[in-house]
């Protein structure tokens, strides 16, 4: 258990064998030169003593709890819920093609041990767990197809590989399409992705009314959020870079008369992370009770700011991946004391039927980093007074229903550990009652001025380009509007990041996000927003200098007229998806006839099917048609259309064993940018003439 081999896979062995053949390496291939196993120590006496005293786990389960913590974490993933139709089709594939062999019929021992199972509490059967680890999947011949599928669909945002317990907090927030949602400590963003998906799931609009603001204090980690948001192609997301304890309020108008308060807030606080011991085994050696004491203060301040930014009637979920009551119940209790009845803890236990949890604690112990136990703050020696605070101690009686919080223990469902509290704000916080929106801004300005005086703050990370919104008199607008026959288009929702020179990419944001960015970008550090929608492609054969981008198509499709739309049959669409470029003559006669009179350039390819409507960006050449989408997206739609794409799968095990170095993969994807292709066609026509 817990063995890690440094750089010693079969793959590297096979590679070396090949190199030998070529005379590049004169080592004996039969000699195992791999470095020895490095054993990770999964023991910590203080951890055992501490948590036994804390009673986080029933006594008779303690040994199983501890033994489970020492094992590797199984793999889990979930299917993206944004689009119900696609989610159902993907689920059918997962349960069919990928899991049939594992669920029934002939099974190897390897497969028997790794049976996948559906997480009973995850809606619509979209959450899955396998009994084997990610490393096992990567290293298993039986699983290469599933592994390839997961990677391929993850890249395009159709599947998310996410730890099982991490899926819980966003579900408990119960996000609706119209909700304004804040994710305070969001990076790397697996929960943010779930929150974004929830906006779309059940919405009857491709641009829901709500939004997700994802924030993180670390500039570099904010770019992980940009990556997450990009996978989901949402116009309803903005990413900010702030210390969540002083997250500024957002103006909704120029004068600051109206400010943004959120309906749902996720406060997934930074924590000591001992719930992730199965994944991050190095925590075993670093673990100390002092870590939790040091984090309690910031966790409390983040939670407090969250509740300040929450609407009355709104819901906040506080979560950590730590077992420690000092980071969990003690933080919640401290907040409840300050909130003086304006916040209630609601029962998280019955919200996800099938999820096994234990109730939050109402009693716990507070210790020094040396494990000295203190019953009251008065007993704490002065030297620990900055680390151990009076508010960390448990209440004499549980006035706030701390037992309604939940803890997930690893041995109950073969997962990581987690803590969640669901809170609702039922009236303004005591110190909010007399504050008007403009007071909040004035107060904030005072805080900022005060902060700036002693030390000029250095700008952290990249300086972002401004977000420049288009207006009706923008010179590029008429050509875009006319070419795509855009009707009643909210042009004020289009933006660029180019302050000088030609506009390159044009992004689309939802109206709600637009208002926030416009009214705050001068005072708040916004890292990213908008989904790429129009891209400059200077091509003389096309009447407009901007092509459509697949990423933004869903958001603007309803405004696009018929002139640039092409209806395809199912078989036409499959042909276009399989081949990088298709001659019009190889399509259905009716499609070919339409194509004869269809102008060159960017267009929308529609497969009109009541069960599975598909809409893709295409490119009409002089006599050709192609889908202007990436290779993974092609594979995704081919899979959903029921085409067997296994010929495009790379069997890395087989590939490694090919002594001649040949690959077994058929490539799929765009071979050349359509504009290059058109130029080539033009040259060919000129030659013929």
Binding-site entries for S-adenosyl-L-methionine: 185-191, 216, 243, 268
> Among 182-190, 203-211, 433-441, 623-631, which window interacts with ligand SAM (CB under 6 A)?
182-190
Nearer to ligand SAM, 187 or 405 (CB): 187
Find the binder of ligand SAM among 150, 159, 182, 185 (CB under 6 A). Answer: 185
- With binding defined as CB under 6 A, does residue 166 bind ligand SAM? yes
Q: Which residue is nearest to ligand SAM (CB)?
A: 185
CB of 124 to ligand SAM, least distance (A): 21
- With binding defined as CB under 6 A, does residue 244 bind ligand SAM? yes
- With binding defined as CB under 6 A, does residue 268 bind ligand SAM? yes
Concerning whether 321 is annotated as a catalytic residue, the answer is yes
- With binding defined as CB under 6 A, does residue 189 bind ligand SAM? yes
Q: How far is CA 476 from CA 142, 435, 617, in A?
A: 53, 44, 20
Is residue 549 within 8 Å of residue 617, measured between CB atoms? yes
* CA 606 centroid distance within chain: 28
Q: What is the dihedral of CA 168, 170, 635, 155, to 10 degrees?
A: -100
CB of 652 to ligand SAM, least distance (A): 28
Nearer to ligand SAM, 280 or 583 (CB): 280
Q: Are strands 237-240 and 211-215 parallel, antiparallel or unpaired?
A: parallel
Find the binder of ligand SAM among 46, 131, 176, 218 (CB under 6 A). Answer: 218
CB of 163 to ligand SAM, least distance (A): 9
Q: Which residues in 551-590 contact ligand SAM (CB under 6 A)?
A: none
* CA 604 centroid distance within chain: 28
Nearer to ligand SAM, 302 or 535 (CB): 302
- With binding defined as CB under 6 A, does residue 221 bind ligand SAM? yes
Query: Could you give the CA distance from residue 205 to residue 411 in angstroms, rounded to a whole number?
Result: 41
> Among 7-15, 180-188, 501-509, 649-657, which window interacts with ligand SAM (CB under 6 A)?
180-188
Query: Could you give the CA distance from residue 191 to residue 167 in angstroms, rounded to a whole number?
Result: 7
Q: Concatenated DSSP letters for 524-574? A: S-EEEE-EEEEEE---TTSSSSEEE-HHHHHHHGGG--STTEEEE-HHHHH
Query: Could you give the CA distance from residue 674 to residue 667 in angstroms, rounded to a whole number?
Result: 18
CB of 243 to ligand SAM, least distance (A): 4
Find the binder of ligand SAM among 25, 72, 243, 444 (CB under 6 A). Answer: 243
> Among 12-20, 36-44, 54-62, 189-197, which window interacts with ligand SAM (CB under 6 A)?
189-197
In the β-sheet with 505-508, what is the strand arrangement from edge to edge? 468-469, 494-496, 505-508, 531-536, 546-548
Nearer to ligand SAM, 190 or 575 (CB): 190
> Among 124-132, 243-251, 629-637, 661-669, which window interacts with ligand SAM (CB under 6 A)?
243-251
User: In the 3-class helix/strand/coil scheme, how is 263-319 assigned residue by residue?
Assistant: EEEEEECCCCCHHHCCCCCCHHHHCCHHHHHHHHHHHHHHHHHHHHCEEEEEEEEEE
CB of 624 to ligand SAM, least distance (A): 43
Is residue 562 within 8 Å of residue 485, measured between CB atoms? yes
User: In the 3-class helix/strand/coil scheme, how is 494-507 assigned residue by residue?
Assistant: EEECCCCCCCCEEE
CB of 488 to ligand SAM, least distance (A): 38
Nearer to ligand SAM, 74 or 170 (CB): 170
CB of 319 to ligand SAM, least distance (A): 8
**Which residue ranges are tagged as binding site?**
185-191, 216, 243, 268
CB of 623 to ligand SAM, least distance (A): 48
> Among 45-53, 240-248, 531-539, 577-585, which window interacts with ligand SAM (CB under 6 A)?
240-248
CB of 394 to ligand SAM, least distance (A): 24
Residue 301: exposed, middle, or buried by beta-carbon count in 10 A (0-12, 13-18, 19+)?
middle
Nearer to ligand SAM, 54 or 166 (CB): 166
- With binding defined as CB under 6 A, does residue 461 bind ligand SAM? no
Query: How many helices (DSSP H) and strands (DSSP E) are in the chain?
Result: 24, 28
Find the binder of ligand SAM among 82, 129, 158, 190 (CB under 6 A). Answer: 190
Residue 96: exposed, middle, or buried by beta-carbon count in 10 A (0-12, 13-18, 19+)?
exposed
How much of the chain is in helix, strand and coil states, percent to nearest 5? 40, 15, 45
> Among 112-120, 185-193, 398-406, 541-549, which window interacts with ligand SAM (CB under 6 A)?
185-193
> Among 184-192, 199-207, 363-371, 655-663, which window interacts with ligand SAM (CB under 6 A)?
184-192
| Omega before 188 within 30 of 0, i.e. cis | yes
Is residue 239 within 8 Å of residue 229, measured between CB atoms? yes
Nearer to ligand SAM, 190 or 362 (CB): 190
CB of 292 to ligand SAM, least distance (A): 14
Catalytic site residue from 57, 222, 267, 321: 321
Cβ density class 647-683: b for 16+ within 10 Å, e for less: ebbebbeebbeeeeeeeeeeebebeeebbebbbebbe
Measured from the Cβ of residue 393, the count of other Cβ atoms closer than 10 Å reads 21
> What's the longest Cα–Cα distance across the chain?
96
- With binding defined as CB under 6 A, does residue 245 bind ligand SAM? yes
- With binding defined as CB under 6 A, does residue 191 bind ligand SAM? yes
- With binding defined as CB under 6 A, does residue 217 bind ligand SAM? yes
Query: Could you give the CA distance from residue 23 to residue 507 in angstroms, rounded to a whole number?
Result: 53
> Tokens in use for 15?
């590679």
- With binding defined as CB under 6 A, does residue 316 bind ligand SAM? no
Is residue 672 within 8 Å of residue 626, measured between CB atoms? no
Find the binder of ligand SAM among 86, 216, 263, 551 (CB under 6 A). Answer: 216
- With binding defined as CB under 6 A, does residue 303 bind ligand SAM? no
Angle between helices 84-93 and 631-640 (to 10 degrees): 80
Nearer to ligand SAM, 221 or 570 (CB): 221
- With binding defined as CB under 6 A, does residue 187 bind ligand SAM? yes
By annotation, the residues acting in catalysis are 321
Contacts to ligand SAM by CB under 6 A: 166, 185-191, 216-218, 221, 243-245, 268, 270, 298, 302
């Amino acid at each position: 258990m817990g063995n890690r081999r440094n750089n010693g896979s079969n793959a590297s062995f096979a590679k070396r064998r090949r190199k030998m053949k070529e005379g590049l390496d004169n080592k004996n291939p039969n000699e195992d030169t791999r470095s020895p196993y490095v054993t990770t120590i999964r023991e910590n006496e203080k951890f055992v003593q501490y948590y036994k005293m804390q009673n986080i786990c029933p006594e008779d389960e303690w040994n199983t709890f501890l033994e489970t913590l020492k094992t590797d974490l199984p793999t889990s993933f979930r299917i993206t819920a944004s689009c119900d139709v696609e989610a159902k089709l993907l689920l059918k594939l997962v349960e069919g093609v990928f899991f049939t062999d594992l669920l029934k019929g002939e099974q190897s021992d390897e497969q028997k041990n790794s049976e996948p199972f559906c997480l009973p509490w995850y809606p619509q059967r979209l959450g899955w767990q396998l009994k084997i680890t990610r490393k096992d999947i990567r290293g298993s011949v039986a699983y290469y197809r599933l592994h390839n599928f997961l990677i391929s669909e993850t890249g395009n945002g159709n599947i998310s590989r996410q730890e099982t317990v991490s899926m819980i907090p966003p579900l408990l927030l119960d996000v609706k399409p119209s909700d304004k949602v804040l994710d305070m400590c969001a990076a790397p963003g697996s929960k943010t992705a779930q929150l974004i998906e929830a906006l779309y799931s059940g919405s009857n609009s491709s641009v829901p009314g709500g939004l997700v603001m994802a924030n993180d204090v670390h500039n570099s980690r904010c770019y992980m959020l940009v990556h997450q948001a990009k996978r989901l192609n949402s116009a309803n997301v903005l990413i900010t870079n702030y210390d969540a304890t002083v997250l500024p309020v957002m103006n909704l108008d120029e004068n600051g008369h109206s400010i943004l308060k959120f309906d749902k807030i996720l406060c997934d606080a930074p924590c000591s992370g001992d719930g992730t011991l199965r994944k991050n085994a190095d925590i075993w050696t670093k673990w100390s009770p002092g870590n939790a004491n040091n984090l309690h203060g910031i966790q409390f301040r983040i939670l407090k700011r969250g509740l300040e930014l929450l609407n009355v009637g709104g819901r906040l979920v506080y979560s950590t991946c730590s077992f420690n009551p000092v980071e969990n119940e003690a933080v919640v209790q401290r907040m409840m004391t300050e909130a003086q009845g304006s916040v209630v803890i609601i029962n998280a236990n019955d919200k996800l039927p099938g999820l096994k949890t234990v109730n939050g604690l109402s009693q716990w112990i507070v210790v020094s980093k040396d494990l000295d136990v203190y019953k009251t703050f008065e007993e704490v020696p002065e030297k620990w007074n900055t680390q151990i605070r009076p508010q960390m101690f448990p209440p004499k009686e549980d006035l706030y229903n701390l037992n309604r919080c939940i803890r997930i223990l690893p041995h109950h469902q073969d997962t990581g550990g987690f803590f969640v509290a669901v809170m609702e704000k039922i009236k303004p916080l005591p110190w909010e009652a007399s504050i008007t929106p403009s007071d909040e801004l004035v107060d904030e300005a005072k805080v900022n001025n005060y902060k700036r005086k002693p030390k000029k703050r250095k700008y952290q990370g990249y300086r972002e380009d401004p977000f420049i919104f288009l207006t009706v008199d923008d010179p590029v607008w008429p050509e875009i509007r006319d070419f795509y026959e855009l009707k009643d288009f909210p042009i004020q929702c289009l933006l660029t990041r180019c302050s000088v020179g030609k506009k390159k990419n044009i992004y689309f944001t939802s109206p709600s996000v637009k208002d926030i960015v416009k009214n705050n970008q001068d005072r708040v550090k916004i890292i990213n927003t908008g989904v790429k929608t129009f891209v400059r492609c200077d091509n003389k054969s096309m009447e407009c200098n901007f092509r459509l981008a697949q990423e933004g198509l869903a958001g603007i499709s309803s405004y696009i007229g018929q002139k640039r739309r092409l209806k395809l049959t199912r078989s036409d669409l499959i042909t276009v998806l399989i081949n990088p470029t298709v001659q019009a003559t190889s399509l259905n006669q009716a499609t070919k006839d339409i194509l004869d009179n269809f102008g060159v350039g960017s267009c929308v390819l529609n497969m009109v099917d009541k069960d599975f409507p598909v809409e893709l960006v295409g490119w009409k050449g002089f006599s050709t048609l192609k889908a202007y989408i990436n290779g993974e997206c092609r594979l995704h739609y081919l899979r959903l259309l029921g085409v067997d794409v296994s010929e495009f799968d790379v069997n890395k095990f087989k590939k490694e064993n090919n002594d001649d170095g040949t690959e077994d993969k058929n490539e799929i994807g765009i071979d050349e940018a359509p504009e290059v292709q058109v130029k080539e066609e033009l040259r060919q026509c000129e030659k013929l003439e």
